[in-house]
Structure 1
Amino acid sequence: MPVHFKQVAIIGVGLIGGSLGMILRRKALADHVVGIGRRVENLKTAVALGAIDRYVADPQEGVREADLVVLATPVDTYERHLQEWAHCLAPGSIVSDVGSVKGALVERAEAAMPAAVHFVGAHPIAGKEKTGVAAGTDQLFKGARCILTPTKRTNSTALERVKQLWEEAGSIILTMDPHLHDQILGAVSHLPHVAAFALMNALSELRDQALPSLDLAGHSGGGLRDTTRIAASSPEMWRDIFLWNRENVVAYIDRYTRALEELRQLIKTGDAAGIEKALERAKGEREKLASSTVRRS
């Protein structure tokens, strides 16, 4: 029998929160879905698109009757939200999230839970460059991985209910220590976003300072668009991810910088054999990545 909730409160009805709301309502996994957010127009759109049943301005009102609360706001807001309404939660209720950083955030969220209220960290690895509930879809999580990050304090029943929810959404479930999650995602997700943002800024400076006539859009091919696609992601969200996972992100930037410098030196010295060797290594790693992606799909 599918998991079922009486009332789910979604804090932050954007792409991820809105898509989850659509699934909850269309698969009848909840009797009632309440949206809580900053922008009334976005919440009205969420109602019109069927992502939520209704919305409220007061978070305490929205979570009071909920047996599941999903934090789908920028990760830096979690503590503020929990301080504002965690005391309103009923015993047995569950708080979960969809954030791209876990580690210390999971520990702090657990510490903020009232007695008999359970926190389960979750990270659905799905998204688009477009944000907002208007970009949402009930197919967003189908075939995507969702990482659950239980700790010694995690209630087993709450963990199973959250697991079943994401399975109903079509996700492939993995479990992982919260700090290991941040190490791995820092390398495979956070560093690529750093690189894409930095590359766009470097090209912008090149255009403004050295080549004012450079038309990035008009002269670029698929390579630039593919390489920098994720630079169109939410600056607010990624600011918080970088800051909350800064230790890992900075260490990986240092390694990336060294790789750039190694390639720079090979090019500067005209080392054709060295350049080819470095590129062949990169090509081989990229082919392994592509092959792994095909097998998982």
Structure 2
Amino acid sequence: MFQPTEDILALDAMFNQELVDCLPGIFYLYEVIGDEAYLKRWNNKHQTVTGRTPEELLNANLMSFVGEETQPYLKECFNVLIETGSVKNVYANILSKEDGEVPYVFEGFGFSLHNRNFFMGMGMDVSDLMSAKEQIKRLELQKQQKEKELFSIALQEQEKEELLQNVLLKLENIERQDVNHLRSKDIKTLTSEIKNHFSTHDNWRVFKKLFKEIHYNFFETLSATHPNITKGELKYCAYLKMQMHTSEVCSIMNISKEGLAKKRYRLKKKLGLKPEEQLDEYIISF
């Protein structure tokens, strides 16, 4: 540690260098002169992280430890410290000669000594925290993308079902009117294939698989809590879990808002919810 000059010997009685060197983060003590702050005390961690010599650290300006883009923000935090006497949760990248910019969270507390103003505080490395936040952000973006895919699958399936239903109705109508036995037989075969599609082809499996990649045990937990819940109700609960808008759900389920309201009422009653309890909040909690 660089030896202090005579003008700040009074600080020696207040700080134990061995103690501050044991702190897990960087320690600093600045003297406030006008609108600027100059470093007067630090610990070994501060010196190691910044990569500066004791001569470079002594009387270094506060702003010299961050990049130009961060200085306006740091200046605002410094002003808060001057006005209120303390500041916490200041997130900024500290400049390091070896590692470039290292994310830290800082705090400071002001005090006066012999008619001179100072502030001291600590900074903690939050590299792991910032990495975790970035990972969470990436996962959230992936989740949003998958939910868009889920919505698209559900909507496409509904549109296809409607189309096949219309074709089936028209074919059955032609079958009843057609007197040609051969054509009638072909139409029966076609209608049989379409009906078979409704009984065997289940896009719900695709939807469910993709949904479980996002919400894991949602279906299992909900079904275990409410064993009598049907597949159709599970599907609607999945839409609630995705926080779809009412208009989107009505479109996918091909149901009116009034019909959806009745469905919600029956489901809420089936789940045993009290009148004051919200169905959406209950489903989202799973």
Structure with bigger RCO (C-alpha 8 Å, 6+ apart): 1
TM-score under structure 2 normalisation? 0.23
TM-score, scaled relative to structure 1: 0.22
Q: Which has the higher strand share?
A: 2
